[in-house]
Amino acid sequence: MRQTNQTQVTEFLLLGLSGDQRTQELLFTLFLGVYLATVLGNLLLMFLIQADSRLHTPNFFFLCNLSLADLCFSTNIAPQALAHLLSRRKVISFTRCAAQLLLFLVFGGTQCALLAVMACDRQVAICNPLHYPSTMTWRVCIQLAAGSWASGILVSVVDTTFTLRLPYQGSNNIAHFFCEAPAMLILASTDTHTSETVIFLMGTVILLIPVSLILVSYGRIIVTVVRMRSTESKLKAFSTCSSHLVVVILFYGSAIVTYMTPKSYKEQEKLVSVFYAMVTPMLNPLIYSLRNKDVKGALRKVATRNFPCRFGVFH
């Protein structure tokens, strides 16, 4: 569907990842499995953190917030994508597209900030363990979490405003499976230099600044660990950071490719967005669960309490 030059676009056509029917059926099965795993994994992780008092620590408080952001992030995209994979007419109204873009940036921006906060938390725990209780108080943790959500909202409002204020009066075919700013800017029927500049600056704020904080934090952690005399202490310190570092690399690597180069949006970047929009939210709880003995201990405790006969071996 195309609009005349005098008519504002009222709906968009999401072209998706492929026009081949068999490929779409395969993608539906794959995306459905990924989304279900994302929902179950993040809900389970949040439940375990709430249920086990041993996990009532700043580190797991931030992890619980990250799981909530992951869950909302994926839920904002996956159901619409799944419905369109089974539909011939992959249409989304301008209003729903705007809402999807807004929420996508809110939850994505919050994830970026939370990952930086978690890196700073690990730095204090490893580099200044004696001052950790007095530094990472619950008041400070709540303020940091609230600030992370506030930063996501701020970046989202700015990016969404500068994306949607443009006139869309030509093609309404979005070469993507959800409404994302770089893919939408291509359709604007006017010069997009200002909007691209603003999105780049917001990308610097919500991507590069947190990445810089993470690099500084891990730099200090590495220096501290190298100075440790005990090999056991070194391994313990690295093990507490390894899960977070893997998540950081997976999420930031793919997000920076898309949002720091909006003008050069290409077909391959659409595939990159699949990774951080669909796959990473599923991997986060899996990575933290498999690599954290406290989470595995909480799971065994819950399993033993609810299924004593079947899981009696855990006693």
Q: What is the three-state SS of the chain?
A: CECCCCCCCCEEEECCCCCCHHHHHHHHHHHHHHHHHHHHHHHHHHHHHHHCHHHCCHHHHHHHHHHHHHHHHHHHHHHHHHHHHCCCCCEEEHHHHHHHHHHHHHHHHHHHHHHHHHHHHHHHHHHCHHHHHHHCCHHHHHHHHHHHHHHHHHHHHHHHHHHHCCCCCCECEECCCCCCHHHHHCCCCCCCHHHHHHHHHHHHHHHHHHHHHHHHHHHHHHHHHHHCCCHHHHHHHHHHHHHHHHHHHHHHHHHHHHHCCHHHCCHHHHHHHHHHHHHHHHHHHHHHHHCCHHHHHHHHHHHHHHCCCCCHHHC
Residue spans of the domains in the chain: they are: 11-314
Residue 262 pLDDT greater than 80, yes or no = no
Give me 97's structure tokens: 């597209």
* Cα distance between residue 26 and residue 157, in whole Å: 35
Annotation: CATH topology of 11-314: Rhopdopsin 7-helix transmembrane proteins (1.20.1070)
Give me the pLDDT at residue 1, please. 43
Q: What is the pLDDT of residues 154-207, one digit of tens each?
A: 999 999 999 998 888 878 888 888 998 888 888 888 888 899 888 888 888 888
Nearest alpha carbon to residue 246 among 271, 218, 209, 226 = 218
Give the N- to C-terminal CA distance of the chain in Å, as an integer.
63
Residue 2 pLDDT greater than 70, yes or no = no
Give me the pLDDT at residue 4, please. 45
- Cα-based distances in Å from 61 to 9, 48, 160: 43, 11, 29
Residue 261 pLDDT greater than 70, yes or no = no
Give me the pLDDT at residue 7, please. 74
- 112 or 266: whose pLDDT is higher? 112
Confidence band, pLDDT 50/70/90 cuts, at residue 314: very low
Q: Which residue has the tokens 């065994």?
A: 300
Average of per-residue pLDDT values in the chain: 84
Give me the pLDDT at residue 267, please. 60
Give me the pLDDT at residue 192, please. 87
Give me the pLDDT at residue 307, please. 54
Confidence band, pLDDT 50/70/90 cuts, at residue 37: very high
Give me the pLDDT at residue 9, please. 84
Q: What is the pLDDT of residues 110-153, one digit of tens each?
A: 999 999 999 999 899 888 989 999 999 999 999 999 999 999 99
- 120 or 252: whose pLDDT is higher? 120
Confirm if 184 and 17 have CB atoms less than 8 A apart. Answer: no
Residue 54 pLDDT greater than 70, yes or no = yes
- 211 or 265: whose pLDDT is higher? 211
Residue 312 pLDDT greater than 50, yes or no = no
Measured CA angle at 261 (ends 258, 263), to 5 deg? 110
Lowest mean pLDDT among 41-55, 84-98, 167-181, 233-247: 233-247
The amino acid present at 193, given as its one-letter code, is: H
Lowest mean pLDDT among 41-45, 75-79, 150-154, 308-312: 308-312
Q: 273-300: string of b/e by CB count within 10 Å (b at 16+)?
A: bbbbbbbbbbbbbebbbeebebbeebbe
